[in-house]
Chain A
Amino acid sequence: MGAGGGAQPPAGAARMGSSEDDKSLITKTLAGEREAFGSLVERYAPQARRVARAVLGDPDDADDAAQDGFLSALVKLAQYDTRRPFGPWLMRIVANAATDRRRRRNVRQAEPLDAALVGGGPRPDVVAMRSELSARLRTALGELPERRRTAVVLFDVEGYSHAEIAGILGIPEGTVRSEVFHARRRLRTLLADWKEQVK
């Protein structure tokens, strides 16, 4: 597509490491090894920050929420069932932390689009165009209902299955499919419009 910072395959991105690696790190963390917890944080930080940002919009708020999520996961780690994948379990906690933070801060509204972006001003270089697309996508995401934007990010960016997202968001799998479908319809329209402009 030529935009969006390179076409990295999102599918399978949710599996940041093998489940055996995760299990080992979790066992060591529970035994009090701080470095093991640090490794888990480093492994899942990119994903947790993106998911939190999908919920909150604001990057600083998202980082605070992701941090809350990691520390909350640490507290609950003894309850984690190691037979299940760690990623969805952690993302559920992170998404809940982000939702809680959003509720506490009384829902930040999506930032209005920059006039230059709306008006289709002068076309700078490719980097700036990618930045413009990112800004549009963030705005479009912000306009979607929270559950919908989280679902589409978990599916298309993080590579979770519908069933896993259903577990993360605590909703039926059919609802996840519907949310992803509606989110994609909106975002793909925006993406197509942008591509037309770039041509």
Chain B
Amino acid sequence: MKNEPSFDHRPDPELGAALRAALEPKDDHKAFAARVMAQYERALDRASVPTLDVLASWFRPGIAAAVAALILGFLFGRTVLAPEPASFDTAMAPLEGRGLADLVTSQDPPDASVVFSSLVEQR
């Protein structure tokens, strides 16, 4: 063992051996290595998720987004594109030709086709 009080660039074999003995674990290094490898295997298992699970995880948000887009589209179409509600009189008025009032007040007997078309229009 060297006792000179100076920087020494060479390892001290005696001190090194004593320290090595002091720090050496009591058990076998193979048991430790096996423990590390077991942890490694567990980490690998956690990391390797099956492909279908990955696809499913992507699929679920896709479906949710599609449903949300559908609902939004429906609401948008309903509020923006739907015609304004007509008044009751407008709704009851015939689109063309003679109306129900004319039919009732007419001197001539009504034509069957006119009666039929008037009834259909009222519905």
Please give the residue numbers on chain A whose beta carbons come within 8 Å of chain B beta carbons, in ascending order: 1, 3-11, 34, 37-38, 41-42, 45-46, 49-50, 53-54, 59, 62-63, 66-67, 70-71, 74, 130, 133-135, 137-138, 141, 152-153, 155-157, 159, 162, 177-178, 180-181, 184-185, 187-188, 191-192
Q: Does B5 contact A (CB under 8 A)?
A: yes
- Identify which of B5, B10, B25 gathers the most chain A CB atoms within 10 Å of its CB: B25
> Binding site of B, secondary structure by majority: helix, strand, loop or mixed?
helix
The 7 closest A-B pairs by CB, nearest first: A5-B21, A4-B18, A10-B16, A156-B16, A134-B22, A137-B22, A4-B21
Closest Cβ neighbor of A189 among chain B residues? B3
Interface presence of B26 (CB below 8 A) = yes
Contact call B24/A5, Cβ cutoff below 8 A = yes
Q: Which residues of B are in contact with A by a Cβ distance under 8 Å?
A: 1-3, 5-26, 29-30, 32-33, 35-37, 39-41, 43
The answer on a CB contact under 8 Å between B17 and A49 is: no
In the complex, what distance in Å separates the CA atom of A192 from the CA atom of B1? Answer: 9
Q: Can you give 6 A-B contacts (C-beta < 8 A)?
A: A6-B17, A9-B16, A46-B29, A63-B25, A130-B21, A156-B12
A34 near B37 with CB under 8 A, answer: yes
State how many angstroms separate the Cβ of A92 from the closest Cβ of chain B. 18
Shortest C-beta distance, A30 to chain B (Å), equals 14
A67–B24 CB distance below 8 A: no
| Residue of A37, A49, A138, A157 touching B16 (CB-CB under 8 A) | A157
A153 touching B19, Cβ below 8 Å: yes
B80–chain A nearest beta-carbon distance, Å: 54
